[in-house]
Amino acid sequence: MAVLEIVTYPNSVLTRRAEEIEKVDREIRKLISDMVDTMYANGGIGLAAPQVGVSKRVVVVDVRLYDPSTSLISIVNPEVIAEGEEVVHEEGCLSVPGCVEGIKRRKWIKVRGLNERGREIEVEGEGMLAIALQHEIDHLNGKVVLDRMSRVKRDLYKKRLQKAKGRA
């Protein structure tokens, strides 16, 4: 299909809540396919539509590298309906390059949404799958990993970003 451009922080599409999808149609299925291609081309394990500049509630996740028992998952309008205890896990983000930090997440979650055919699904994830799903759903809610970091670390990253832009 197509590899799309990854939008990076501080682009405003990353800081606002993505729009609910009324109907899963050909356009949404193409978006899902392009997002999968983009995720793989960039070495990611998950991608949310805002990360490719589209303010729609769509995520794709593939953590088979960490858990071979899983498969590629795409969810439209995902919402967390159950969650387990907290854990801290080191995360990076394609939209926040160079930022890797320990982030508090839930060790296990259950998500409800729609599949690429518009049918309701529930996905339970633990470990890396749970982490990736939460990370991508954060993007749909206008949050990036920086929003889950301490203020000091967030400010350090922003200063590095400004310094790098000054050199460009």
What type of residue sits at position 111? Answer: V
CA 17 to chain centre: 13
Could you confirm whether 136 is annotated as catalytic? Answer: yes
Mean pLDDT by 10 residues, the chain (168 residues): 92 97 98 98 97 98 95 98 96 92 96 97 96 98 93 85 71
CATH 3.90.45.10 fits domain 12-167? yes
* 149-157 LR contacts (CB < 8 Å, sep 24+): 149/101, 149/103, 153/101, 157/96, 157/98, 157/99
Instruction: Tell me which residue of 33, 59, 30 sits closest to 138, measured CA to CA.
Output: 59
Q: How far apart are CA 17 and CA 23, in angstroms?
A: 18
So what's the pLDDT on residue 1? Answer: 67
* Domain spans in the chain, listed from the N-terminal domain onward: 12-167
Residue 49 CB neighbour total at 10 angstroms: 27
pTM as predicted: 0.93
